[in-house]
Amino acid sequence: MIEIKNVSKWYGSFQVLTKCSTSVKKGEVVVVCGPSGSGKSTLIKCVNALEPFQEGEVVIDGTSVGAAGTDLPRLRSKVGMVFQHFELFPHLSIIENLTLAQVKVLNRSAEAARDKGLALLERVGLTAHADKFPGQLSGGQQQRVAIARALAMDPMCMLFDEPTSALDPEMINEVLDVMVQLAQEGMTMMCVTHEMGFARKVAHRVIFMDKGEIVEDATKDDFFGKPRSERAVQFLSKILQH
């Protein structure tokens, strides 16, 4: 589904990604972790070309992301993305946040889009908030709306960029619950997250990045059982202490 081949990226002369290669198969849940500044967020933004990269190739469902003739808006509409800071549109109501792209990108009728939006709001347990504005919701609620907004496009895979990092601790689980449910339904997911509990529960593979390189790319059991690199061992010991 997602193929990342030898992707390298520089900011000026500073290299942020070095020959990153991995893949996410259909129905697979892959967790990407690593210390801050290791390039995980940059890598996941390269997948749907929110960040350009200078070398290598990213192929989604047979379409090369970086190629010249690629219809990026069309490709992105098939790849759902959830951001660290939610990025709901503050000037639109919750239901408008969910229907906007359905109408403008997928050309759905306003009614069909609204029905779809309401169904997804019900799924994330926020039907009562349909006509409120993002600023009136808590962080956890906003992030669940953001997930619903991405799902409204019927994506073939979902990208999560640290979806719980900006949340207060008591709101993390309500977001993770939605993600776990999604994973169990067979959604293809690539998640940048430090939630190792989530990784243990639903991930098939775990990728560990450090200094712009993919240091480990292992099945969940191998990763938590016997990480091969020193750096991964150190990282795990730091974040699993508490």
Partner 1 sequence: MIGNLDLSFFNWELVSNFLAKGFYFSIQLTLIAMAGGIVFGTALALCRLSGRPWLALPAATYVNTMRSIPLVMVILWFFLLIPLLIGRSMGAELSAIITFTLFEAAYYSEIMRAGIQSVARGQVYAGYALGLTYGQTMRLIVLPQAFRNMLPVLLTQTIILFQDTSLVYAIGAYDLLKGFEVAGKNFNRPVEAYLLAAVVYFVICFSLSSVVKKLQTRIAIIR
Does 89 contact partner 1 by CB under 8 A?
Answer: yes
Residue of 61, 87, 213, 222 that binds partner 1 (CB under 8 A):
87
Rg (CA), the chain: 18
Answer for which of 5, 78, 123, 211 binds partner 1 (CB under 8 A) is 78
Query: Among 37, 52, 67, 85, which residue interacts with partner 1 (rule: CB under 8 A)?
Result: 85
CA distance 6 to 20: 5
- Contact between 48 and partner 1 per CB under 8 A: yes
Pairing of strands 55-60, 2-11: antiparallel
CA distance 167 to 220: 25
CA distance 39 to 227: 20
Region near partner 1 per CB under 8 A, out of 8-16, 76-84, 109-117, 190-198: 76-84
- Closer residue to partner 1 in complex, CB, 153/183: 153
Query: How many degrees, rounded to 5, is the angle at CA 172 between CA 227 and CA 126?
Result: 140
85 vs 228, which CB is nearer to partner 1? 85
How far apart (Å, rounded) are the C-alpha atoms in residues 24 and 52?
Answer: 20
Per CB under 8 A, the list member of 50, 59, 180, 196 interacting with partner 1 is 50
- The residue with tokens 């309401």 is 118
Which member of 46, 150, 182, 192 binds partner 1 (CB under 8 A)?
150
Distance (Å, rounded) from C-alpha 138 to C-alpha 166?
11
How many chain residues touch partner 1 (CB under 8 A)? Answer: 30
Of 119-127, 131-139, 194-202, 219-227, the segment contacting partner 1 by CB under 8 A is 131-139
Instruction: Tell me if 90 contacts partner 1 by CB under 8 A.
Output: yes
